[in-house]
Amino acid sequence: DLVRSRGLGDVYKRQRYNIALKLASIGDPSSVGPLVKSLRRLFEEPLTSTYEYDDAPHHLVWFCKALKRLGDPRGNMALIEGLRSTDPHVRAVIADDPPDDPRALPELVRLLSDPRSFVRTRAERALVAYRNDPELVRLMAERANATD
C-alpha cells in the first residue's frame, strides 16, 4: 500500500505557517514589513472555498495573528485592508481577532451588513469590546439613519 504524498503545495503552506509563528514570537519590528507583504499576497490568493463553514487556510490565520501580536501601525493597516477583502474568509479571520486600532471600528461596523452570515457574526462579536466607545455609538447611529 502506498501512502499518498501531501505534495509540495502542502509543505510550502506549512512553511509559511511556521514562518509567521516564528516572526511573531521573536517580536522584532523589522518583521512587520515582510509579514505585511506576505499577508497582502495571501489576500490576493483565489478563494479556497465558497462554502461558509469551511475553515480559512491556517497560514492566513497565523499571518493575521502574527501581525496583530506585533501591534505595529503598518501591520494594523494591512489587517484593516483585509476587512475590505473580496474573500469572505479573509474578512472573517480578521473580524474574529481584529487589530487593536480605532481605524478598524468603521470597517467592523460596515461588516454588520456583510452578505455572509459568518462574517457578520464575527464582526458583532468583535464590536462587543467597543460597546462603551462613543465612536461606536456614533457609527451605529449613522448606520441606523442610513437604513431608515
Tens place of pLDDT per residue across the chain (148 aa) = 344 444 444 444 556 656 777 777 777 788 889 889 988 888 887 776 555 556 777 778 888 988 998 899 999 999 999 999 998 999 999 999 999 999 999 999 999 999 999 999 999 999 999 888 999 999 999 989 887 6
* Torsion angle defined by CA atoms of residues 25, 23, 90 and 44, in that order, rounded to the nearest 10 degrees: 180
- pTM for this predicted structure: 0.80
54: left (phi > 0), else alpha (psi -120 to 50), else beta? beta
